[in-house]
Amino acid sequence: MYRSISGSFLEWKKNRDRKPLIIIGARQVGKTWSVREFAKNTYKSILEINFQDNVRARRYFSESHSIREILTYLEINHPEIELNEDTLIFFDEVQLCPELITSLKFFPENCKSDVICSGSMLGVMLHGISSFPVGYVETWTMQSMSFTEFAIANGIKQEFLDEAAAAVLKNEPVMDPIHERLNALFTAYIVCGGMPEAVNACVTQGIPAAVKVNRRLVHDYEMDIAHYADSKTKIKALECFQSLPLQLAKENKKFQYKLVKEGYNARYYDESLAWLKNAGLICQVHRLKKIEQPLELSKEMGIFKVYLFDTGLLTAQFSDSAISDILQNALGMYKGVIYENAAAQILNNKNYTCYYYEPNTSSEIDFIIDYKGEIVPIEVKGGLHTRSKSFSNFIRNHNSKYAFRFSMKNAGKSDDNVTRYLPYYAMEWIL
Which pLDDT score, from 0 to 100, does residue 130 have? Answer: 65
Which pLDDT score, from 0 to 100, does residue 335 have? Answer: 67
Which pLDDT score, from 0 to 100, does residue 359 have? Answer: 87
Q: Which of 142, 143, 129 is nearest to 100 (CA)?
A: 129
Which pLDDT score, from 0 to 100, does residue 249 have? Answer: 86
**Measured distance between the N- and C-terminal CA atoms of the chain, rounded to whole angstroms:** 24
What beta strand segments (E) does 217-268 contain?
Answer: none
Compute the distance between CA of residue 96 and CA of residue 117 in angstroms, rounded to an integer.
Answer: 12
**Phi/psi of residue 191, nearest 5 degrees:** -90, -45
Domain 5-141 falls in which CATH fold? Rossmann fold (3.40.50)
Beta bridge partners of 21: 116, 138
Per-domain residue ranges for the chain? 5-141, 147-430
**Phi/psi of residue 415, nearest 5 degrees:** -60, -30
Tell me whether residue 276 is exposed, middle or buried, using C-beta atoms within 10 angstroms of its C-beta: 0 to 12, 13 to 18, 19 or more: buried
Compute the distance between CA of residue 217 and CA of residue 219 in angstroms, rounded to an integer.
Answer: 5
Compute the distance between CA of residue 398 and CA of residue 167 in angstroms, rounded to an integer.
Answer: 28
Angle ∠(315,280,359) on CA atoms, nearest 5: 70
Answer whether 188's CB lies under 8 Å from 202's CB: yes
Tell me whether residue 418 is exposed, middle or buried, using C-beta atoms within 10 angstroms of its C-beta: 0 to 12, 13 to 18, 19 or more: middle
Query: pLDDT of the chain along its 431 residues, tens only?
Result: 899 999 999 999 999 999 999 999 998 999 999 999 999 999 999 999 999 999 999 999 988 789 999 999 999 999 999 999 999 999 999 988 888 998 999 999 999 999 999 988 777 777 667 678 889 999 999 999 999 999 999 999 999 999 999 999 998 999 999 999 999 999 999 999 999 999 999 999 999 999 999 999 999 999 999 888 888 899 999 999 999 999 998 888 899 999 999 888 888 999 999 999 999 999 999 999 999 999 999 999 999 999 999 999 999 999 998 898 888 876 666 667 899 999 999 999 999 999 999 988 788 999 999 999 999 999 998 766 656 788 999 999 999 999 999 999 999 998 888 999 999 999 999 88
pTM of the complete model: 0.93
Q: Is 10 left (phi over 0), alpha (psi -120 to 50) or beta?
A: alpha
Which pLDDT score, from 0 to 100, does residue 360 have? Answer: 85
Residue 265 neighbours by CB under 8 Å, 6+ apart: 257
